Structure 1
Amino acid sequence: MAPVSVAGAKRVAVRRGAWIVFADECGQTLRAHKATTWAPRGATPVVKVTAKGTVRVSVAGLCCYRPGERSRLIYRTLLYRGHKGEPKGFREPDFIALLDAAHQQLQAPIVLVWDRLSTHRSPPIRKAIAARPWLRVYLLPSYAQELNPVEKVWSTMKRSLSNHCVSTATDLTAAVKNRLNRMQCRSGLIDAFFTGTGLSPPTPARP
């Protein structure tokens, strides 16, 4: 694994005929995000939320880019209900399973770009990367969220959940998946997330 510039990752991907895949994780709890809304004059809008407990939906997402192909969003969720022994977030086997699934779906080598989270640099991850000749991994500079289009995915998802009330872990998971599934169907939106990273939107090849 090595530091990377977006332009450098693109050059490596072109040489290998690979997809550039940006990765990141986020979490969503039962506490709704506040946002401005409409209400009758003089009536303050009230949003009732369920903030008790430690329920959390963790999401690991991949924004996938290759010129001439439709942009892709691939994700997995992990529900933490606060029970003893439950994982609170994604671990090394979860990340590897997601990358293997992405490779199977994309049917091409992957140039993976992600941040410097300790889990991303752990010995099990390094061993798994070394065992996968189709995978090259590069690390983003520290504090460089603007270079990762997946951050835009999270921002859009959380904004769409503003003032949205759910009371159970099942409902929260369904709401998160609903927003992400909608984005998966809008490749043009995923294209827009790439523009801020220095990558031009890919133009799908004509049949």
Structure 2
Amino acid sequence: MNTRARIVFLDESDVSLLPQVRRTYAPRGRTPLLRHRLNRKRASMAAALGYHAADPERGPRLCFHLKPGSYDTAALIEVLEQLKTFYRGERVVLIWDGLSAHWSRDIRAWVAEQDWLTLERLPAYAPELNPVELLWSSLKKRELANLAGNHLADVADATEQGIHRINQNPQLPWSFLAHTGLTLHPPTPRN
């Protein structure tokens, strides 16, 4: 593994106009009501959370992508193109799960042409090793909790606010990584 690369975890999730119902507080005797239209419109979001392997002091970087509908191979290649621009020439070791679209023939062919990118696969059934899962949890428990938007734009705005909140607090991405039990250690200098 290249020690001068960014270690980047990528994952996708979906959001919809159906609210993420969470416990809340209200005055005694006034049960809160969550009113929404029964609308199943969905959007998909992808986040790439990168840590520098050789220099953790450089800080984590978060790249985010939101689109209506779901991700397919072409849309994932678009996300990877955005990632390439985002990391501007840095080497990236991308770690993601075993979703079939991640390992499709087209993705592998596209990656084979990229000199900046190396793919690694998370173990099967191990989402707890991906810090981006904790990012999704943070968004869904805070900005998206009990959100009854009328349009996908309402959900997109709330999601963008959550990404901004996470980007403003550099300790959050580190806490996501720490919660997985994974660590980054700079290489020991040779004498």
TM-score when normalising by structure 1: 0.81
* Matched length: 181
For 1:4-43, what aligned pairs fall within 5 Å after superposition?
12-14=1-3, 17-43=4-30
Stretches of structure 2 that go unaligned for 5 or more consecutive residues are: 187-191
**Residue-by-residue CA offset, 1:119-165 (whole Å, 9 max, x unaligned):** 01110001011000211101111110110000001101111111122
Distance 1:50 1:180, change over 3 A: farther
8 Å CA contact 1:61, 1:150 repeated in 2: yes
Answer yes or no: is 1:137 the counterpart of 2:119. Answer: yes
Name the TM-score, length of structure 2 as normaliser.
0.88
Q: Is the 8 A contact 1:71 1:202 kept in 2?
A: no
Partner residue in 1 for 2:43:
57
Q: Residues of 1 paired with 2:185 and 2:140: CA distance? A: 26
Aligned-residue RMSD, C-alpha: 1.8
Partner secondary structure for residue 58 of structure 2:
coil
Alpha-carbon distance between aligned partners in 2 of 1:202 and 1:75, rounded to the nearest angstrom: 26
CA deviation vs aligned residue, 1:58-100 (integer Å, no higher than 9, x gap): 0011010112311011110011xxxxxxxx3112232222223
2:155 is aligned with 1:172:
yes
- Please give the alpha-carbon distance, in whole angstroms, between the structure 2 residues aligned to 1:110 and 1:150: 16
Mapped partners of 1:180, 1:151: distance in 2: 14
* 1:173-188 map, 5 Å: 173-188=156-171
* Identity across the alignment (%): 33
Cα distance, 1:201 vs structure 2? 6.8
Aligned twin of 1:3: none
Output the CA distance in 1 between the equivalents of 2:31 and 2:184.
42
Provide the C-alpha distance between the structure 2 equivalents of 1:68 and 1:108, rounded to a whole number of angstroms. Answer: 16
Q: Which runs of 5+ in 1 are unaligned?
A: 1-11, 80-87
Q: Secondary structure at 1:25's aligned position in 2?
A: strand
Q: In structure 1, what residue type is equivalent to 2:50? A: C
Deviates more, 1:193-202 or 1:43-52: 193-202
Q: Structure 2: how far apart are the matches of 1:159 and 1:171?
A: 16
How does 1:102-113 map onto structure 2 within 5 Å?
A: 102-106=83-87, 107-113=89-95
What SS does the corresponding residue of 2:140 show, helix, strand or coil? helix
